[in-house]
Structure 1
């Protein structure tokens, strides 16, 4: 089977969901509740058993389908240990390695900043960056224990030090872009490239963004993997 990530999109929240497919098993990253059947249909067509459902952080703009996918497929759920998603069977920390389909490895990189617990996943030269690093941008840092200083260090010390050809797959994009590379972002990212820590913190602290529309619903729901309490 082709080992390229399969990228799926939710138009309401501009969220990307990813299927990582190996010979007989798959992993889903950041699924959205309303697309549970769509995602299962992809797996069925490809003849894949779902091994894990991964979250990059506790999302504030959509509700996850991780809990429902676990119920329907028997997959394990995994979430960053610092995000308060207690029902996930696997609580992830920096340096952890998830294995599926016998020989496939996903490396966990803790990247606090957007939220205190945010992580990115590295698989076969592909970085799934959540809201930490976006294409020509980054996630906001003004809620859920966010920190502009922490995000700057996460990106410059843990992501920009990856090989430049590493493919960057974000959790969101609002301009129709699907993929970038670490090298391009290092040279061109308008928020982070060639910007000092002090300048970045000042920029992020003055964005004055409105709160996500679904935040009051999504954050508590996602702490329970999207399932009713």
Structure 2
């Protein structure tokens, strides 16, 4: 379809997404590539929270074996863009397979078994996950690359 995003956010950019009461909700955009090249995390400093998408999950992280993923980039993103936040910041991932809603920076630094390792160990762990091919990936990948649009737009 040739579809493209209307707005491209830049690393470090501040965006307003609404307000709570009369106070604007301002998020800091942080580029966190690795799961995909375009992954972004959003920090809500006023609420001591970070929304990590599939970059950082609770006790895990996004897979890197498709969608232009890179274990090396993912490790760097998490260590330099997320784990540099204060320990008390809450981590809200895009999803969790056990039903947990959030974690914290300190909890993930301490208990995330993939990320308590060195870069080389992390890359090896990710290479050896041997995850099954997602059922809808052949539809999802092209849709993701076209902003979810299909056909002529």
Shorter chain as denominator, the TM-score bin is 0.7 to 0.9
Q: Does structure 1 conserve the Cα–Cα contact (< 8 Å) formed by 2:67 and 2:141? A: no
RMSD (Å), alpha carbons? 1.6
Q: Distance in 1 between matches of 2:52 and 2:111?
A: 17
> Deviation digits for residues 19-40 of structure 1, max 9, x if unmatched?
xxxxxxxxxxxxxxxxxxxxxx
Deviant stretches of 4+, over 6 Å: none
Task: Say whether residues 1:104 and 2:22 are aligned partners.
Answer: no
Report what 2:118 is aligned to: 196
SS in 1 for 2:42: strand
Sort the Cα spacing of 1:86 and 1:110 in 2 relative to 1 into closer, same or farther, 3 A: farther
Q: CA deviation at 1:86?
A: 4.6
> Normalized against structure 2, the TM-score is what?
0.87
1:128 to 46, 51, 72: 51
Gaps of 5+ in 2: none
> Deviation digits for residues 129-178 of structure 1, max 9, x if unmatched?
01110000111111111111111111111111101111100012111211
Q: What is the aligned length?
A: 144
Flag the structure with more relative contact order, 1 or 2, with Cα contacts below 8 A and sequence separation at least 6. Answer: 2
SS in 2 for 1:150: helix
SS in 2 for 1:129: strand
2:10 to 84, 89, 93: 93
Q: CA deviation at 1:92?
A: 1.3
Q: CA deviation at 1:185?
A: 0.5
Q: Distance in 1 between matches of 2:17 and 2:120?
A: 41
2:107 to 178, 184, 193: 184
Gaps of 5+ in 1: 1-84
Q: Distance in 2 between matches of 1:227 and 1:141?
A: 24
Q: Distance in 2 between matches of 1:225 and 1:116?
A: 14
Q: Distance in 2 between matches of 1:91 and 1:105?
A: 16
SS in 2 for 1:109: strand
Q: CA deviation at 1:211?
A: 1.8
